[in-house]
Structure 1
Amino acid sequence: MEDKYQIFGIRAVIEAIQSGKTIDKVFIQKGLQGNLFQQLNSLLKLHEIGSSYVPIEKLNRLTKNNHQGVVANISPIEFYDLDDLVNQTLESDVTPLFLLLDQLSDVRNFGAIIRTAECCGVHGIIIQRKGSASVTADTVKTSAGAVFRVPICKIDHIKDAVFHMQASGIQVVAATEKTDNDIYSVDLTTPTAIVMGSEDVGIAPSVLKAVDQKAKLPLLGEIGSLNVSVACGVFLYETLRQRMS
């Protein structure tokens, strides 16, 4: 990771938060204690900054510097407010297309999805505050800079975004193999938000229950699934195909 996207040391991270820097995620050594840690923990809760408790080996891999048990990712972007983004999109002369990423955790997959989303005219990507991939130097590189061109929102729970889309007249379609419907039978010409799941477990059951439609990709080989960024690309380009017909 590039140093310009990283801060290490408890006091340095505290000062960064207090100065108003956009912190994407904080990694904290398991078992860390003390007054400074309590101050950091309070700031993380106050500013709703995602954090993970990890073994010291993870922190040592993130930086070779004296991290004092804390490493933070500075976001290279400013995150959008979901209400504002949806309202602005609905007020413009476009058919809304959003992506909801349910705890997708690999930064390279995230970057690849952002790149495809930009090429397909996606109006915004919504991720969960906790459990999702950070916007890092790897994300920027893999997205070929598209991360600076596609609005990204952070929310507490993806299910909240599902309900928000539905209340705004936007259908929510889940990409999942747990259905008999294939993507080619779903009407994607109307305002749509597509939900993609995490690499290991897919879309959470509670999210699947809340969506309007489920769709799968036909798979003719013996491997049961596609890489999530590839699957997302197929869904987005099927949406484009329908809308351009």
Structure 2
Amino acid sequence: MAGKSDFLFGIRSVIEAINSGKEIEKVLVKKGLRGELYDELLETMKEANISWQSVPVERINRATRKNHQGVIAFVSAITYQDLENSLIQVFEDGKNPLVLVLDGVTDIRNMGAIARSAECAGVDMIVIPEKGGAPINADAVKTSAGALQHIPVCRVKNLFKAVDYLKKSGLQIVVATEKARDNYTKVDFSVPTAIVMGAEDKGVSAQVMKISDADTKIPIVGKISSLNVSVAAGILIYEAVRQRSL
């Protein structure tokens, strides 16, 4: 559950928040809720393309016992950026794009740690899926030491299409996977690159793997079979920094 500062409650409060442009992660609505104000909320959510879920009132009560009127909205701690506009800006600024794509990274602390490394290394943006990724709430921002307030984060509906767009825009797609043959030092990170990191249990999706230009691994010589995804991301990001500084 998100921290107390990450949600607001009450039908009118949620409607006003949506209309004011706040980044809403999702809305929980009590099952069986009815009325004109509720209908207005539904229409507002549909127009803003905000996802909502009908749940038992007990679930909402676990978040707050105040007069929530059967509605609670989880608010993002950051403002998400548009992927296409962000990439265009990178090219217009004359930069050599370095993008980090997170495919199924769901742990908030990992998300924060990855963002911190990415911001320190000058990564141009982080791309995450709208569903199936870690929520960016106050805990994630805190873990990132504030980095999530500075690095552009692009949240996309379809991660595969986003990666395909990056590829068609001239970026090589490099996938981190323990099944790769070559170590990460053999990848040429000096060209425009999008590094794709997957969940620790499932890895990068097969669909994204199919359109990748290169896959790579970090050698493991100890008894533990894999690195934490935030550590692995940091290693690959700084290999790109190293190569680009030569």
TM-score per shorter chain, which class? 0.7 to 0.9
Confirm or deny: 8 A CA contact 1:32 1:69 kept in the other structure. Answer: no
Query: What's the counterpart of residue 161 of structure 2?
Result: 160
- Percent identity of the aligned residues? 45
Q: Which moved more, 1:38-47 or 1:80-89?
A: 38-47
Map of 1:180-219 to 2, 5 A cutoff?
180-219=181-220
Query: What's the counterpart of residue 20 of structure 2?
Result: 19
Confirm or deny: 8 A CA contact 1:110 1:139 kept in the other structure. Answer: yes
Map of 1:1-245 to 2, 5 A cutoff?
1-23=2-24, 25-28=25-28, 31=31, 33-34=33-34, 40-51=41-52, 59-245=60-246
Cα separation, partners in 2 of 1:74 and 1:229, compared to 1, 3 Å: same
How many residues were matched structurally?
A: 244
Deviation at 1:153, TM superposition (A): 0.9
Structure 1: runs of 5 or more not aligned: none
Confirm or deny: 8 A CA contact 1:109 1:229 kept in the other structure. Answer: yes
- Provide the rounded CA distance (Å) in 2 between the counterparts of 1:54 and 1:220: 47
Which amino acid in structure 2 is aligned with residue 152 of structure 1? V
Confirm or deny: 8 A CA contact 1:159 1:206 kept in the other structure. Answer: yes
Confirm or deny: 8 A CA contact 1:171 1:191 kept in the other structure. Answer: yes
Which amino acid in structure 1 is aligned with residue 191 of structure 2? T
The one-character-per-residue Cα deviations of 1:47-103 (angstroms, maximum 9, x if unpaired) are: 233456667665455445454554322223221111111111112232110111113
Confirm or deny: 8 A CA contact 1:102 1:196 kept in the other structure. Answer: yes
- Provide the rounded CA distance (Å) in 1 between the counterparts of 2:56 and 2:201: 21
Confirm or deny: 8 A CA contact 2:26 2:75 kept in the other structure. Answer: no
Equivalent position SS for 2:135: coil
Instruction: Say which one has the larger Rg.
Output: 2
Confirm or deny: 8 A CA contact 2:31 2:55 kept in the other structure. Answer: no
Deviation at 1:182, TM superposition (A): 1.8
Which amino acid in structure 2 is aligned with residue 47 of structure 1? A
With normalisation by structure 2, the TM-score equals 0.87
Equivalent position SS for 1:211: coil
Cα separation, partners in 2 of 1:218 and 1:37, compared to 1, 3 Å: farther
Cα separation, partners in 2 of 1:134 and 1:55, compared to 1, 3 Å: farther
Confirm or deny: 8 A CA contact 1:59 1:71 kept in the other structure. Answer: yes
Confirm or deny: 8 A CA contact 2:31 2:57 kept in the other structure. Answer: no
